[in-house]
Structure 1
């Protein structure tokens, strides 16, 4: 019981979550999927979740579900948070430097690419965008699955920007930790510019909570990247989840995965605070 209380009291930053409020910000017409019911997560609901679990800050990620490149709901949440939130936006590849600078001034720290959902880009399509992000010291965030990293890894290493990889890289568990896609992700550790989110078990595990089949992949990422290049995230409010997920048990699972107090503090708080420029509150 004391250990579980400690995880709620320890300073934390949630590095992948979404805010969806279709009443105030109607879904975009070009969004293929419109979250509903328990998938909807308003700013007020999210703030209550953070307060109960002792989470100080959060990195909001613009969802393809509901909004695509309409970032208004997320930007509104960042503005209302008054420093509590940063964000990762979805933007068109031809966005200008001035437009990116404006987003950065509003608390956006990077741009998200959901290759797992939308497929891989053609060679060269994103080069100019990634170069602009590198110049602005912003992140290229990617969500991949299975063996996509085999083809994308070299391009990411060469882009010059810092890299965020969502949800363990969503590996093919049947291929094991030696699978080509997961090995390509592990190789990105050599660049020292890549950070991996220990999150999203529901998106790749073949088992129910506590996702025992995914633990070797978490451990391999921790061993290869180190605590200074790993982040924790809830993926709240769990869009398209195939099973029930709850915030507290996900935190408890992380505590079990990372028993070392110094490593846990680095992943949960010190690394994301430094990376994303949160204050000490």
Structure 2
């Protein structure tokens, strides 16, 4: 019997009783960024992981999906599982056509394994450049992976800190696959939305035909989850950044919950409140339908009815 590891000290568990959103998601809405953690007794965490989370398995994810009114999920491999994609694949298979996966793979992966992942519903790989989560991100190894996945039509999900974009930008532009950026490139929302740092990010998106996830206001906010005038309008300092991305790239934006919200240290968000954040950044019905339905369907379920 496997010995289970205790959670990382101070770990915040996901919110057990999310509220009912006041914003009604359009039919066919996609959560394009979420994860599964184990459960550890069934799916071991990677020995080299930087954190040990609570369990957050497929059953809990699907319960949240149904509670919020989400139709489909894109399940992104969590760093705590390393390159063992078993938990993610188990969740994708259990969801049938209602889920797709993003894998983490090693440079020596073979064509047959990649094709098996593709058949199971994987549509991309994730490259992580956040130093607190990975030891290194060797560029040549990542180029090797990018060349291997390109024939499958997969894309590359990029996770990085905004301050690191200048040194990574030319490498990203050289990759032979479409790019999807997590969490708006993690901007410093204490700086102006029209300042040089976020302007550079927007230029990178425009010049390289990049997709952007308008996600994780709870990770970016300084003001936090406090409601405004008693209304369900939280994370207000992040709104101008999300709105700017949605306005400039309406056909290349995605949204997701980031459930079960790994590595938060300040507070654990109410997923119902995260849904209510959407109309503040996508202010028209057309923008919201593209963000939540049209765009993720085109990227992950091309040709399928929403």
TM-score w.r.t. the length of structure 1 is 0.89
| Alignment correspondent of 2:279 | 255
- Tell me how far apart the structure 1 counterparts of residues 95 and 219 of structure 2 sit (CA, whole Å): 29
- Tell me how far apart the structure 1 counterparts of residues 121 and 65 of structure 2 sit (CA, whole Å): 19
| Alignment correspondent of 2:65 | 50
| Alignment correspondent of 2:51 | 33
Matched, 1:13 2:36: no
Change (3 A) 1:17 1:123: closer
| Alignment correspondent of 1:22 | 40
Matches within 5 A, 1:153-192: 153-178=169-194, 181-191=197-207
1:94 CA displacement:
2.7
Higher helix share: 1
Task: Give deviations 1:144-165, integer Å, cap 9, x for gaps.
Answer: 1132122222222221211110
Task: Give deviations 1:8-27, integer Å, cap 9, x for gaps.
Answer: 45431001101121122122
- Tell me how far apart the structure 1 counterparts of residues 135 and 46 of structure 2 sit (CA, whole Å): 20
- Tell me how far apart the structure 1 counterparts of residues 33 and 70 of structure 2 sit (CA, whole Å): 13
Q: Which deviates the most, 95-104 or 55-64?
A: 95-104
Query: Which of 258, 263, 280 does residue 235 from structure 1 map onto?
Result: 258
| Alignment correspondent of 1:79 | 93
- Tell me how far apart the structure 1 counterparts of residues 287 and 208 of structure 2 sit (CA, whole Å): 17
Gaps (5+ residues) in structure 2?
1-20, 226-233
- Tell me how far apart the structure 1 counterparts of residues 51 and 195 of structure 2 sit (CA, whole Å): 31
Gaps (5+ residues) in structure 1?
none
TM-score w.r.t. the length of structure 2 is 0.82
Q: How many residues align?
A: 273
Matched, 1:107 2:125: no
| Alignment correspondent of 2:141 | 125
SS state at 1:131 partner: helix
Task: Give deviations 1:54-79, integer Å, cap 9, x for gaps.
Answer: 111000011112x1111101101111
